Amino acid sequence: MEVGEEIFRGEVWIKNENIAYVGTNSDIAEAGPAIPHIKWDFEIDCGDNLLMPGLKNAHTHSAMTFLRSYADDLPLSEWLNTKVFPYEAKLSSGDIYELTRLAVMEYVTSGVTSIFDMYLNPDAIAESCRDTGMRCVLCGNVNDHTSSPEKMADEYERLNEFNPLISYRLGMHAEYTCSKNLLERIAKVVQNYKAPFYCHMSETASEVESCKERYGKTPGLLLNELGMFDYGGGIFHGVHLTDEEMDILQEKKFSVITNPGSNLKLASGIAPVSKLIKKGFNVAIGTDGPASNNALDMFREMYLVATLAKIRDNDAVSVDAGKVLAMATIGGAKAMGLDDADTLTAGKLADIILIDLAKPNMQPENNIVKNIVYSGGKSNVLMTMVGGKILYHNGSYNIGERPEVIYENCNKIAERILG
């Protein structure tokens, strides 16, 4: 995924959590005796399969696995207020730890090596990701019912020092779940730390209209006036952005994280991805949570990003598959502040996946990139490595617990909370 670099046959060497060397077969042959003798812990012959940077799920709510397929076929407002918020209030930190482990199992089978997770109790998510080996960027989730600006500031300082796999970004749920006073207090935290800020924004048309009724302006204009955009960041969804908002967000160097599966299921609309690309935005891709999607499958999201853009623009060449794959890797890394996990480059983090090209859906190999986006699936993921540690390989998990134990624990949680 380096700019201008084509797929090549070669080797990738890993030392501890980093990539130590990347070279073509001809590079290695020419170097010959100059290459130092190394005694490897182990070697993997990848055959004719594809090593590439891991996919970045740039927006999710992992512990919502307990609501998967429970509250479907409802509009967003009713879904949140009658089927999500009341049951989330019953979750313990132990529940969130366990439910996040279930999500991690799904991530690694889908070739995801890092997640941007916004949910209740970030400490429990951080512990779960540390223990399973998943790289996680946590996002503040302040709203009128959950957390506070003061608690977010404490989490920002603590969790950015918690573990090399874990980092934390300032954020809130959304304008419509925060009072004006709370928005102003959040803005003060952003100004105090001079740090990037993230939130759900312009997900639905009704969200935008209700903000205009309250404040006489769209969410983007309101949050910008409050000073939340001054140090960059990103917005999740961005389906109903105005041109004026796009200009502001572009000036402030914001990323837009699109979530097509969730937006379709909740009838929120189709994000203007091609327009964002043309304006020079960094665009990333997320699944959203397992209650609103309901899968945590980045292959499905890539396909939807590419094809929905063509429908929205009535143009079959609207968004190229290569750009979509870049969104799911480089774009996600940039949006999440993981610039050391974006490409297969010496010195970068060894967050790597192995894609099985010897499956019928990947043959013939007329164009491997387009195969990945248009016909690829999680069944093609042979291996997922995070920070040099293999978490998933040929159907086996290495996340600190047996799958059947996690399944049993999560079903007990769902039964207790949902009845």
Q: What is the DSSP string of 156-197?
A: HHHHTTT-TTEEEEEEEEEGGGS-HHHHHHHHHHHHHHT--E
For the chain, the straight-line distance linking the first and the last C-alpha, in angstroms and rounded, comes to: 47
For the chain, how big is the Rg over CA atoms in Å?
21
**What is the full per-residue pLDDT of the chain (419 aa) written as tens digits?**
998 899 999 999 999 999 999 999 888 877 776 677 788 899 999 999 999 999 999 999 999 999 999 988 888 788 888 988 899 999 999 999 999 999 999 999 999 999 999 999 999 999 999 999 999 999 999 999 999 999 999 999 999 999 999 999 999 999 999 999 999 999 999 999 999 999 999 999 999 999 999 999 999 999 999 999 999 999 999 999 999 999 999 999 999 999 999 999 999 999 999 999 999 999 999 999 999 999 999 999 999 999 999 999 999 999 999 999 999 999 999 999 999 999 999 999 999 999 999 999 999 999 999 999 999 999 999 999 999 999 999 999 999 999 999 999 999 999 999 98
Specify whether the CB–CB gap between 52 and 1 falls below 8 A: yes
How far CA 204 is from CA of 6, 209, 211, 244, 249, in Å, comes to: 39, 9, 11, 17, 18
Q: Structure tokens of 109?
A: 């089978």
CATH number of this structure's domain 53-336: 3.20.20.140
CA dihedral 135, 141, 147, 150 (to 10 degrees): 80
Domains in the chain: boundaries: 53-336
Which of helix, strand or coil describes residue 22?
strand
Query: Which letter does DSSP use for residue 38 in this model?
Result: -
Distance CA(167)–CA(234), nearest Å, equals 16
C-beta separation of 270 from 263 below 8 A: yes
